[in-house]
Amino acid sequence: MPTTPTDHRLAALAPALESAGQAHLIPWCEGLEASARDRLLDQLAELDLPLLARLSGGGGDESAASGDLEPPETVDATDAAALERRAAGEAMLAAGKVAAFTVAGGQGTRLGWNGPKGTFPSTIVTGKPLFRVFAEQILATQDRFAPSEPIPWYVMTSPANDADTQAFFRDNNRFGLAPGQVFFLVQGTMPSVDFEGRVLLESPDSLCLNPDGHGGSLRALRRSGALEEMTARGIEQISYFQVDNPLVRILDPLFLGFHAADPRSSGEMSGKMVAKRDAGEKVGVFCRRGGRTTVVEYSDLPKELAEASDAQGRLRFRAGNIAVHAISVDFAMRLTEEGAEIGLPFHRAIKKVPHLDLATGAIVAPAEPNAIKFETFVFDAMPLAKRALVMETSRLEEFAPIKNATGEDSAESSRQAQSDRAASWLEARGVKVARHADGHAAARIEIEPRTALCAADLATRPLPDRIDPGSEVVI
Ligand code: UTP
């Protein structure tokens, strides 16, 4: 019979734990001393146990959808409407209708950097951390369009990296941004489970929790009050981007204009694409399915579709998703409406998760994947928009993510891409830049965001005549 309040809490929760397949936790809780048991019960009480039972019940990936896939329609800078759209985007920025939003709550396990990924030294010469690169773009954009208030920047963190992220901004004096210009919001978490669907513990009194995916960003914007605050400030559109791409063009007027002012868009949610490097590149692709724009993950795209070509001999499904979106505040509100929340589907990822072995009480560091993590993805909101627009841009200009410690999509490949882009901007202004035989820039060249956000911005700058092989240049 329960005798203490802690016993009562456990007794009250036990039936729900049992019916959600989590009965293994009951004897474990019983064996804990009262304060540890209370801490664990606090976490367990927060879980959506019916959801967990559904996800772990072997029902497969909630995201698996069927229907014929077609390539999407796309727009780009050569579109007849581009000039007008850019002007519309510029007007939105000048009127203070756009906020920047970075999702920075990921665990960054592939990179293996000891700290939030946004603190990673990313640029080729000065080693600026990713957060500084974005801050300087925001400052350059507001210098140019002079909105009456500073452009707000929302940064989503996770419970694991929030304190370190906020401390980094403080220690760096917010990279010159105004007090009150940067807002932090913490995303939600999901428990990691073993292959039988049992939640894992990371210590005797706490669960293994992982951030609930970048799809959790819409909910986090809502719960934190950010959406209401944006509405109160007159913000209509959110410029969404990930923390790992130093070439990203945030607050891009052309994209914002197409998104908000083009009849092919409902102004709810748009995405940017680059042509896939090859059929095997690990990026999701934008597709049309059932009259809706959607993104299919690389692992879900059947091989024959991934490798199919179109009439011009290009990949038929070439619209690689670079995770840059424009999202209206109204759309984010609609999807997260209290009581009628339109949940994004959960995807399952099989991972190695260190955990406590309940039989021995020892921490196990698995050599092989042992657990399932559940995450939602922001691109699953695309088909929920009335008409979602996809804009094509160039990889050289806008996409060189830092995902891995070495090889493809690493800091090294990203830094080379930064130099290559800088070289092409300089060459467009008549500078002679040394190149290797394989076409890559043969010098380390960094163009700072406050100098230029695009090639055209270099028009009025004094530039060197030439850049020699092996040299190091900051412009
Ligand atoms: P990734 O898919 O690259 O995941 O995130 P990750 O967690 O950063 O890295 P790995 O897979 O462990 O190596 C893409 C973007 O989405 C953000 C990341 O911070 C990154 O900007 N993200 C991801 C979140 O904000 N929250 C999440 O739960 C997951």
Is 80 inside a domain boundary? yes
Q: Are residues 306 and 177 in the same domain?
A: yes
Question: Quick check: 148 and 467 in contact, CB under 8 A?
Answer: no
Verify that 223 and 90 share a domain, yes or no: yes
* C-alpha separations of 166 from 118, 176, 185, 227, 314 in Å: 11, 15, 10, 20, 44
Q: Which of 131, 187, 244 for mutating ligand 1's site (highest number of atoms within 8 Å of CB)?
A: 244
Q: Which atom of ligand 1 is nearest to the CA of 244?
A: 21
- Per-residue confidence (pLDDT) for residue 6, from 0 to 100: 80
Q: How many CA atoms lie within 13 A of 238 on its CB side?
A: 28
CA–centroid distance, 44 to ligand 1, in Å, is: 25
| Closest to 283 in 3D by CA, of 319, 249, 314, 316 | 319
Same domain for 93 and 21, yes or no, is: no
Residues present in the chain in total: 475
Report whether residue 321 contacts ligand 1, using a CB cutoff of 6 Å: no
In the chain, the N- to C-terminal Cα span, in Å, equals 74
pLDDT tops 60 at residue 59: no
312 C-beta closer than 6 A to ligand 1: no
Beta strands in 33-134 (DSSP E): 69-70, 98-103
Q: Does the pLDDT at position 65 exceed 80? A: no
Ligand 1 pocket, 205 CB below 6 A? no
333 shares a domain with 205: yes
What range defines the domain where residue 198 resides?
Answer: 69-398
Distance 253 CA to ligand 1 centre (A): 26
How does residue 60 score in pLDDT terms, banded at 50, 70 and 90?
Answer: very low
Number of domains the chain is built from: 3
- Asked if the structure places residue 322 within a domain, the reply is yes
Structure confidence at residue 149 (pLDDT):
96
**Do 111 and 402 form a contact (C-beta atoms < 8 A)?**
yes
Question: Of residues 90 and 64, which shows the higher confidence score?
Answer: 90
pLDDT of residue 342: 79
| Same-domain pairing of 344 and 217 | yes
Q: Whose CA is nearest to atom 3 of ligand 1?
A: 403
What pLDDT score was predicted for residue 1? 60
Verify that 343 and 461 share a domain, yes or no: no
User: Quick one: 268 and 367 in the same domain?
Assistant: yes
**What is the spatial distance between Cα 14 and Cα 136, in angstroms, rounded to a whole number?**
52
**Residue-wise pLDDT tens digits, 337-380:** 987 777 899 999 999 999 999 999 999 999 999 999 999 999 99
d(CA 233, CA 253): 20
427 and 388 in a single domain? The answer is no
The pLDDT > 70 percentage for the chain reads: 97
- In contact, 449 and 249? CB cutoff 8 Å: no
Q: How far is the CA of 415 from the centre of ligand 1 (A)?
A: 20
What is the predicted pLDDT for the residue at 409? 95
Examine the domain organization and report whether 15 and 96 are in the same domain: no
pLDDT tens profile 215-258: 999 999 999 999 999 999 999 999 999 999 999 999 999 999 99
Question: In whole angstroms, how large is the CA radius of gyration of the chain?
Answer: 24
- pTM, whole model, 2 decimals? 0.95
Residue 109 CA, ligand 1 centroid: distance in Å: 9
**Distance, CA 104 to ligand 1 centroid (Å)?**
7
| Domain-located, residue 64 | no
